[in-house]
């Protein structure tokens, strides 16, 4: 049983031995401070602003200690890969049924049976059954495609990934004699899906608001609920090349159990591959970069962005919708206004003294609450508004290093002290652990993201009442069949690790991949979105 206490603010002197000084992990953050040039360049990159605000005094004066994005990011679903992404017939699912959430192979078999027994007879379905089709199935039927091209491609990706992971999409590899590919597990993580599509889309694309009903050639009516349209938008964003052009800060931490130092700071392990660069992957996002980026992106520009809220191996992307923070004094741990919270570094017994910026003369503590839009299971509701969104929050604690004018020059994440209770009636305060919460990485749409979502020009008009014109079929299939080529032809220098039939020495060899990235036709998505505004 654990009980969280107030921030551990009183620091002790950090002793550093000669052995630690030779440790390559001590040559990267959090032990080696970022230069002010690194901090500013990272904030400039994230905000796409050549002169971002970096002064804490000015931040407080301008009322930027709390803010929400101008457009609230809409709630959506991460569309689990194991259930077929947006080819999931979500209305007949129990999200607590282990056979549906743990067995992708069973889900693929059920899809194939469904295609034979249900979709081959789709024009004879009752309106109630049409309403319960998967989002991708409704899309295909809207396109007049009873072969269900987009839906089939989505399930093909599920099957290919389940059977071989990335090896399922390998197009060429230079395997030397005596070596082979590593075996691929058939397990599929429950968190795998298109949260990177939903979360990113929610920060930049409009919210679907109302149900759009389409009349099919047989006179039957088929509804696109707001969550159906959200699904199409999410898949479009997940598989778009905009994913290669987002602005990102931080690296993905690949450790399931992140190691910490004596102060609770997340630290990294040495690389597992020969020649791999030692990088801060689990300690990565710098608090100075985080703080300045949040204030500039959301507080000043009014933009939402995406945060990977878990700092371990699981990927958990969510759109940040707002923040608020308060100061604390690093000596006393007490909250207060800025003037009472800033302390001089001179004479302060600082545990992180060797990790501080040489430009730092003052220190201030920050307790930030990050508010983010949570995902929710898809529903067949007729409307969707900001009132339907669900939110969660996380508290981050860190200090900011300041120069004499109050400009941010560095910082360190701070730990909460946790007392381990031996039993329900007594506690031993000598048994303590510390923990740090921080984002794994965060990323934002570029300001010019609309250039990646231009409608196909020259198509005849569609009024949104019945099926799309037949002239839309060819461009739609081109979108469905989009292949992301990780090949030398496209400038990639991809390397794959192969293992020997005998012995332990692995090798890195050139390899190429062709990943299917099926997308709905943007013209259809945009028209459905506009119709949902009526």
Residue 476: helix, strand or coil by DSSP? helix
Instruction: Say yes or no to pLDDT of 385 above 70.
Output: yes
* Chain centroid, CA 4 distance in Å: 28
Q: How far is CA 331 from the centre of its chain?
A: 35
What stretch of H or E contains 317?
strand 317-328
**Total domains in the fold of the chain:** 2
pLDDT at 8 over 50: no
pLDDT-based confidence at residue 431 (cuts at 50, 70, 90) = very low
Q: Which of 422, 444, 466 is the last residue of a domain?
A: 444
Cis peptide preceding 416, ω within 30 of 0 = no
As beta bridge partners, residue 307 has 318, 442
| Residue numbers of the domain that contains 148 | 81-193+454-531
pLDDT tens sequence across 99-155 = 555 689 999 999 999 999 999 999 999 999 999 999 999 999 999 999 999 999 999
Domain finish residue from 389, 410, 444: 444
User: Is 225 within a domain?
Assistant: no
Report d(CA 499, CA 459) in Å as an integer: 51
CA separation for the pair 452, 245 (Å, rounded): 9
Question: Would residue 160 count as lying in a domain?
Answer: yes
Residues 349 and 423 in one domain: yes
Residue 118 lies in a domain: yes
By DSSP bridging, strand 362-373 and strand 317-328 are antiparallel
Task: Give the Cα separation of 356 and 347 in Å (integer).
Answer: 14
Tell me: do 430 and 496 sit in the same domain.
no
Residues linked to residue 317 through DSSP beta bridges, in sequence order: 308
Boundary of a domain, candidates 393, 411, 444:
444
Q: Is there a single domain that holds both residue 28 and residue 120?
A: no
Considering the domain architecture, whether residues 61 and 146 belong to the same structural domain is answered as no
Is 465 contained in some domain? yes
Same domain membership, residue 358 and residue 334? yes
**Do 30 and 122 sit in the same domain of this protein?**
no
pLDDT score of 207 more than 90 = yes
Note whether 56 and 85 are same-domain residues: no
DSSP letter for 312, please. Answer: S
pLDDT value at position 255? 63
Distance, CA of 280 to CA of 235 (rounded, Å): 31
pLDDT per residue as tens digits for the range 226-266: 999 999 999 999 999 999 999 988 766 766 676 777 666 77
Asked if residue 108 belongs to a domain, the reply is: yes
% of the chain at pLDDT higher than 70: 84
Same domain (yes/no): 481, 417: no
Strands 343-344 and 335-336: unpaired
Instruction: Name the pTM for this structure.
Output: 0.87
Residue 208 lies in a domain: no
The predicted-structure confidence for 446-474, as pLDDT tens digits, reads as follows 999 999 999 999 999 998 899 999 999 99
Are 147 and 271 part of one and the same domain?
A: no
Q: What's the pLDDT score for residue 7?
A: 36
Local confidence band at 277 (pLDDT 50, 70, 90 cut-offs)? low
Same-domain check for residues 55 and 96: no
Q: Tell me: do 55 and 89 sit in the same domain.
A: no
């Amino acid at each position: 049983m654990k009980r969280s206490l107030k921030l551990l603010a009183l620091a002790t002197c950090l002793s550093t031995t000669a052995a630690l000084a030779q440790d390559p992990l001590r040559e990267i953050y959090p032990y080696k401070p970022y230069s002010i040039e690194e901090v500013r360049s990272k904030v400039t990159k994230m905000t796409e602003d050549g002169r971002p605000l970096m002064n804490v005094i000015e931040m407080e004066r301008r009322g930027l200690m709390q803010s929400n994005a101008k457009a609230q990011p809409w709630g959506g679903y991460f569309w689990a890969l194991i259930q077929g992404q947006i080819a999931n017939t979500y209305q007949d699912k129990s999200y607590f049924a282990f056979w549906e959430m743990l067995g992708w192979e069973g889900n693929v078999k059920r899809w194939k049976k469904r295609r034979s027994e249900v979709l081959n007879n789709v024009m004879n379905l009752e309106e109630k059954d049409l309403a319960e089709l998967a989002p991708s199935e409704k899309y295909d039927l809207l396109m007049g495609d009873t072969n269900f091209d987009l839906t089939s491609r989505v399930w093909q990706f599920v099957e290919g990934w389940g059977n071989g992971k990335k090896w399922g999409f390998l197009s060429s590899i230079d395997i030397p004699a005596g070596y082979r590919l590593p075996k691929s597990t058939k397990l599929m993580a429950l968190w795998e899906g298109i949260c990177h599509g939903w979360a990113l889309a929610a920060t930049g694309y409009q919210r679907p608001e109302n149900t759009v009903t389409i009349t099919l050639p047989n006179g039957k009516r088929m509804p696109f609920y707001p969550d159906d349209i959200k699904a199409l938008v999410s898949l479009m964003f997940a598989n778009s090349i905009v994913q290669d052009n987002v602005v990102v800060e931080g690296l993905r931490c690949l450790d399931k159990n992140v190691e910490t130092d004596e102060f609770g700071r997340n630290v990294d392990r040495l690389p597992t591959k020969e020649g791999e660069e030692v990088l801060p992957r689990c300690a990565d996002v710098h608090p100075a970069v985080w703080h300045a980026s949040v204030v500039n992106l959301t507080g000043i520009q009014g933009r939402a962005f995406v945060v990977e809220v878990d700092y371990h191996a699981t990927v958990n992307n969510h759109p940040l919708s707002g923040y608020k923070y308060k100061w604390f004094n690093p000596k006393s741990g007490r909250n207060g206004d800025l003037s009472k919270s800033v302390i001089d570094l001179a004479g302060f017994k600082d545990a992180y003294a060797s990790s501080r910026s040489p430009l730092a003369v003052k220190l201030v503590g920050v307790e930030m609450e990050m508010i983010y839009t949570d995902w929710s299971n898809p529903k067949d509701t007729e409307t969707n508004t900001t009132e339907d969104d669900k939110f969660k929050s996380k508290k981050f604690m860190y200090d900011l290093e300041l120069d004499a004018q109050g400009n941010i020059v560095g910082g360190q994440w701070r730990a909460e002290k946790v007392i381990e209770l031996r039993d329900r009636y007594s506690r031993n305060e000598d048994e303590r652990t510390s923990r740090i919460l921080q984002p794994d990485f965060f990323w934002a749409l570029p300001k010019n993201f609309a250039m990646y979502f231009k409608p196909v020009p020259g198509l005849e008009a569609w009024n949104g009442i019945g099926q799309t014109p037949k002239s839309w079929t060819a461009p739609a299939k081109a979108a469905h069949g989009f292949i992301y080529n990780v090949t030398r032809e496209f400038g990639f220098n991809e390397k794959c690790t192969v293992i020997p039939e005998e012995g332990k020495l692995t090798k890195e060899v050139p390899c190429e991949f062709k990943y299917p990235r099926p997308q709905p036709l943007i013209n259809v998505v945009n028209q459905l979105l506009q119709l949902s505004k009526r």
